[in-house]
Chains A and B, each alone.
Chain A
Amino acid sequence: MSSDVTIRISGLWKRYGLPMPRFIHRGINLIKGRNSEYEDGDWWALKDVSLEVRRGETLGIVGRNGAGKSTLLKVLAGVTIPTKGRVEILGRIFPMIELNAGLNTELTGRENVRLLGAIMGLSRSETERILPDVEDFTELGEWFDKPVRMYSSGMLSRLGFGVAVNIKSDVVLIDETFAVGDLKFQNKSLARVRELRESGATILLVSHSLETLQFVAKRGILLEQGKLLADGSALEAINAYETLVFRAEQKRVEHRVRSRITSEDVNIFGARLFDQDGNTLTEVRAEQPFGIEVDLHIHRDLEHPMFSLGLHNMAGILCKWNVSKEDGLIGPGPRNHYILRAWYPENRLSTGAYEAHFAARDAATFETLERIAGIINFAVIGPERSRGIVCGKVEWTLIPFDEVQNSTGSNNSISDDSSREQTYD
């Protein structure tokens, strides 16, 4: 693989709309009776993006909605011009962006393939050459010669994708096009992308499916509000993206108490997250011990106060639930102002955003004195992606079956378990 640069972007700024001198906007506003200043003009979709992509590289682009991913692809495709900066592309570029562009519903599938071929930059003979492949790839059968207006949406997408994947190009831009058709068709499409990659094409890929990105892309970049925030391996970019999303989710729900049951007997003044040294934390690193502190006032002499803390992830799943009494906090609580501390020495929470639910009860009467969903919100940020509810690595080993048989005598752990093992034969 040669290491020459295929795409060179330097200092790219993009603002949408026709750039017009200020006085024209003032004039238009005057006519329309608006006296507001022209605001759209200050909104940049891309801010000072510089990037180089080499031949044969597969670059995944991640970012939240409106981060500028699609704008970047549009500028690269030459659909819209850069407002400032320079974009250079060496070679034929092909955008696989929502492939139904230009389908005419009155024409048949075959006629549309000819049209799409021309739109996508093929000559007539090139289109005729790929036509059998497209017919084969789309699996439309007799529908291929029926008007496209009779197609289902899945069939439409297959038609567009069928043309797109059969076009040879030096640079391919892909935007959210994998969610087309059934699983079998998706796998076929992914295989075609892999083929493209192996043929030495440079691929730029935008997808909200992080799984797809992780498997297809080698390099990744993260865009946020038009700025390039991270540039590294695909996994690094995905991690940076998730961190960003978790933080944003946490901000969104921060100090927003969702539901609250309260009584005269307990008052809650505040809650915070703290680390080993008692310093306040805004977020927790994966596997870092942390504590939750609640500042509360009890107005009634309680014989057995009982507190509980539940940690919910963003999907609303309860990941951890602890009750003070079960964990050994037993004793009376006369009326006073208290700081309640709950320390989590073993933090196994998977990366993500969390919401803590707190409740105070009287264990003698089982009366709920105070319950707050979302007393505190925090994000768990990891250097690595974790899946599922808990984090942590698993030690994997792949042992040939015969060797396991031979070593049963010597290996204690396996022979211990073998007594409980069920056999299914």
Chain B
Amino acid sequence: MSGTMSESRGKYINVSSTSRRFARFFSLLSALVVRDVTSRYRRSSLGMWWAFIQPVVLMLLFNMLRGFVNIPSDGVPYILFSYTGLVPWTFFTNSVSACGPSIIQNAEIIKKISMPREVFPLAAVFATLFDFGMSAIILAILMFWYKVSVGLTLLWVPLLVILTIGASFAIGILLAGLGTFRKDFIFATPFLTQAWLFITPVIYPLSSVPEKWRSIYMLNPMVGVIEGFRSVLIKGQSPEIKPLVLAMVMVILIMSISWPLFRKLSDYFADVL
């Protein structure tokens, strides 16, 4: 029966002003971010310190690894080198993995009240941004310790942060949409991010990637992001243009697929939650 029936899709129209919807989106977004940030560390003894611990532990691990294996670091102290990569990288992976289950976690709301569902993965990204800010404080201390001279190149940082948010959101929204229907996508997220770490110049420099592979390698948007952060923070140089532009193009490309797909899927979230 369902196969033969011509499915003229149903329409739902609610006449209310766009500006209202916009204002509502932002008040909801900020309320969700506040909820996530304030409730996350309640009832934990270390509290906010957890935001520092993760990148610091990773940094120490990679430093140990470097004791056995020779990893070049473009002439920068390896601690500083790896940490500048790990801060944006942990932000990216944490927000991608927070996006995945964000729809399922907010099932009670989604099942009852209509709203643009993008708000949930987006809130997950912004709540992680708070941790990013925290771990950046350690980075600043490290930079001070190693007497890194900073200059006007710091003005690139906001753009790079926006680009990281964009990359997290583009990938996260895809996992959130698909993961709501099939949990497999959420279970696969840790493997995905671990594998991704090895194709991103976090613990090794871009310069150690063979020249002939570099063009394909740079299709990974996180290459431009991580290299960009490193140039402007510890090398005092503007980011290389090619990886940066490629990263932007890739983020826009991924988002132009994942966002419409999410929108389409989001119509049926309430049906399967």
Residues on A lying within 8 angstroms of B by beta carbon are 12-19, 22, 38, 41-42, 74-75, 77-93, 95, 97-98, 100-102, 104, 106-107, 111, 114-115, 117-124, 127
Q: Are A83 and B10 in contact (CB under 8 A)?
A: yes
> Contacts A18-B271, A121-B24; is A85 near B112 (CB within 8 Å)?
no
Contact across chains for A18 and B10 when beta carbons are under 8 A apart: no
List B residues at the A interface (Cβ < 8 Å).
1-3, 7-16, 23-24, 27-28, 30-32, 34-35, 38-39, 42-43, 106, 108-115, 181, 265, 267-268, 270-272
Chain B residue nearest to A96 in the complex (CB): B112
Contacts A75-B12, A83-B10 given; indicate if A114 touches B112 (C-beta within 8 A): no
User: Which listed residue, A89, A93, A107, touches B38 by the CB 8 Å rule?
Assistant: A107
Q: Is the CB of B42 within 8 A of A101?
A: no
State A106–B34 Cα separation when bound (angstroms).
Answer: 12
Q: Which residues of A contact B8 (CB under 8 A)?
A: 84
Could you tell me the distance in whole angstroms from the C-beta of A418 to the nearest C-beta in chain B? 61
- The residue that B10 contacts in the complex, of A77, A82, A91, A115, with Cβ under 8 A, is A82
Known: A13-B10, A89-B14, A100-B108. A79 touches B113 (CB 8 A): yes
Query: Do A104 and B112 form a contact, CB below 8 Å, given A80-B268, A82-B10?
Result: no
Q: How far in angstroms is the closest Cβ of chain B from A244?
A: 26
CA distance A264 to B34 in the complex (A): 79
Residues of B within 8 A of A12 (CB): 10
Are A18 and B265 neighbours in the complex by a CB distance under 8 Å?
A: yes
In the complex, are the beta carbons of A80 and B3 less than 8 A apart?
no
Q: CB < 8 Å: which of B13, B16, B31, B110 contacts A118?
A: B31
Q: Are A42 and B10 neighbours in the complex by a CB distance under 8 Å?
A: no
**CB pair B27 A118 closer than 8 Å:** yes
Which residue of chain B lies nearest to A119 when distances are taken between CB atoms in the complex? Answer: B109
Task: Judge whether B106 and A102 touch: CB under 8 Å.
Answer: yes
Min Cβ gap B123→A in Å is 11
Q: Is the CB of A42 within 8 A of B112?
A: no
Contact B9 A101 (CB under 8 A): no
A16, A79, A102, A123: which contacts B114 (Cβ < 8 A)?
A79
* Contact indicator B271/A123 (Cβ below 8 Å): no
Q: Tell me how far the C-beta of A201 lies from the nearest C-beta in chain B, rounded to whole angstroms.
A: 15
Q: With A115-B35, A119-B28, A124-B27 given, is the CB distance from A77 to B11 under 8 Å?
A: no
Q: Is A122 touching B27 in the complex (CB atoms < 8 A)?
A: yes
Asked if residues B271 and A80 are in contact (CB atoms below 8 Å), the reply is: yes
B9 neighbours in A (Cβ, 8 Å): 83-84
List B contacts of A17 (CB < 8 A). 268, 271-272
Instruction: Name the residue on A nearest B181 (C-beta).
Output: A18
Set of chain B residues within 8 Å of A19, measured between Cβ atoms? 7, 268
* Contact status B12-A82, CB under 8 Å: yes
Contact present for B14 and A78 (CB under 8 Å):
yes
CB-defined A-B contacts under 8 Å, sample of 22? A15-B2, A16-B271, A19-B268, A74-B112, A78-B114, A79-B112, A79-B270, A81-B267, A84-B9, A88-B14, A89-B15, A91-B15, A93-B14, A95-B112, A98-B112, A104-B35, A107-B38, A115-B32, A118-B28, A118-B31, A119-B115, A124-B30
Contacts of A121 in B (CB 8 A): 24, 28, 113, 115
- Ordered nearest first, which 3 A-B pairs have the shortest CB separation? A82-B10, A78-B114, A118-B31
Bound Cα distance A84, B12 (Å): 10
- Are the C-beta atoms of A79 and B31 separated by less than 8 Å? no
When the two chains form their complex, are residues A107 and B39 in contact, meaning their CB atoms are under 8 A apart? yes
Instruction: Indicate if the CB atoms of A80 and B108 lie closer than 8 Å.
Output: no
Residues in A with CB closer than 8 Å to B272 are: 16-18
Q: Is the CB of A87 within 8 A of B114?
A: no
A336 CA / B8 CA spacing, docked (Å) = 68
Closest residue of B by beta carbon distance from A171: B14
- By a CB distance below 8 angstroms, the chain A residues around B15 are 88-91
Q: A15-B2, A100-B108 are in contact. List 13 more A-B contacts (CB 8 A).
A: A16-B271, A17-B268, A19-B7, A78-B114, A79-B112, A80-B267, A87-B12, A87-B13, A104-B39, A106-B39, A107-B38, A118-B27, A119-B109
- With a CB–CB cut-off of 8 A, which chain B residues contact A87? 10-13
Q: Residue B16 contacts which of A18, A91, A100, A123 (CB distance < 8 angstroms)?
A: A91
CA–CA, A87 to B14, complex, Å?
8
Q: Please determine whether A101 and B111 come into contact, CB atoms closer than 8 angstroms.
A: yes
Q: Is A86 a contact partner of B11 (Cβ separation < 8 A)?
A: yes
Distance in angstroms between the alpha carbons of A126 and B114 in the assembled complex: 19
In the complex, what's the smallest C-beta–C-beta distance from B217 to chain A, in angstroms?
34
B264 nearest in chain A by CB position:
A18
Q: Evaluate contact between A95 and B13: CB separation under 8 angstroms.
A: no
Q: Of A42, A89, A115, which one neighbours B13 at CB under 8 angstroms?
A: A89
Q: Which of A41, A42, A114, A119 contacts B113 (CB 8 A)?
A: A119
Closest residue of chain A to B8 (Cβ to Cβ) is A84
| B10 touching A101, Cβ below 8 Å | no
Nearest to A127 among chain B residues (CB) is: B27
Partner of A86, one of B13, B23, B113: B13
Smallest beta-carbon distance B67→chain A, Å: 41
Measured between beta carbons, the chain A residues less than 8 angstroms from B109 are 101-102, 119
In angstroms, Cα B111 to Cα A100, docked, is 12
How far is A121 from B115 in the complex, measured between Cα atoms in Å?
9
The answer for the CA separation of A196 and B13 in the assembled complex, in Å, is 24
Assembled-state Cα–Cα distance A400/B105 (Å)? 63
Q: Which residues of A contact B43 (CB under 8 A)?
A: 106
Residues on the A chain within 8 Å of B115, using CB = 119, 121
Residues of B within 8 A of A119 (CB): 28, 31, 109, 113, 115
Chain B residues, CB < 8 A from A93: 14
Chain B: CB-nearest residue to A105: B39
**Residues of the B chain whose Cβ atoms lie less than 8 Å from the Cβ of A90:** 15
Assess whether A77 is in contact with B113, with CB atoms less than 8 Å apart: yes
How far does the Cβ of A256 sit from chain B's closest Cβ, in whole Å?
33
Which residues of B have CB within 8 Å of A16?
271-272
**A102-B108, A118-B32 known; A92-B10 Cβ under 8 A:** no
Known: A80-B271, A84-B7, A93-B14. A115 touches B42 (CB 8 A): no
Q: Contact at B108–A101, with CB atoms within 8 Å? A: yes
Which single residue of chain A is at the shortest CB-CB distance from B3?
A22
For A88, list chain B residues within 8 Å (CB): 13-15
